[in-house]
């Protein structure tokens, strides 16, 4: 990928609801984020999470970011897979092909994030355009 972006996000709101609690606890969370740095704008994500008895978890989600990546404006959707070790969430994200709008049309790339509980998350994205 041609360009490297780095930045952070902070959680603006978190609404987590249980889906199933027999055996592993499954939940769904609707989360809003504020991005800054090379990725600037608003994020909205839907997480599906599976918690183990020790409060660690695995999660998947679709995350829409609207704003700017570098000097290009628009929106894009990331597919995310990650883990929570009880104190920090770590995830990898990939641009959903064909999800870019505006100047982000044709965006493709991969990156990730590290989000210590209670602190802003650091994010990276390596990307180019079709």
The residue extents of the domains of the chain are: 3-129
pLDDT digits (tens, 9 = 90+) for 19-76: 998 888 999 999 999 999 999 999 999 999 999 999 899 999 999 999 999 999 999 9
Please give the span between the terminal C-alpha atoms of the chain, in angstroms, as a whole number: 11
Please answer whether residues 105 and 69 qualify as being in contact, where contact means their C-beta atoms are separated by less than 8 angstroms.
Answer: no
What are the backbone dihedrals phi and psi of residue 70, each rounded to the nearest 5 degrees, phi first?
Answer: 65, -130
Of residues 118 and 96, more confidence is placed in: 96
What CATH code would you report for 3-129? 2.40.350.10
pLDDT digits (tens, 9 = 90+) for 92-111: 999 999 999 999 999 999 99
State the Cα–Cα distance between residues 49 and 60, nearest whole angstrom: 7
State the Cα–Cα distance between residues 29 and 17, nearest whole angstrom: 6
């Amino acid at each position: 990928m041609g360009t490297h972006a780095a930045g952070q996000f902070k959680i603006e709101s978190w609404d987590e609801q249980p889906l199933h609690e027999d055996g592993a606890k499954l939940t769904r969370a609707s989360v809003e984020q504020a991005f800054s740095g090379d990725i600037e704008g608003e994020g909205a994500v839907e997480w599906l999470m599976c918690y183990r008895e020790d409060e660690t978890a695995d999660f998947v989600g679709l995350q829409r970011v609207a704003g700017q990546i570098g000097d290009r404006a628009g929106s894009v959707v990331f597919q995310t897979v990650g883990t929570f070790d009880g104190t920090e969430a770590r995830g990898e994200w990939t641009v959903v092909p064909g999800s870019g709008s505006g100047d982000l049309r044709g965006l493709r790339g991969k990156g990730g994030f590290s989000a210590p509980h209670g602190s802003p998350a650091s994010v990276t994205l390596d990307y180019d355009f079709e």
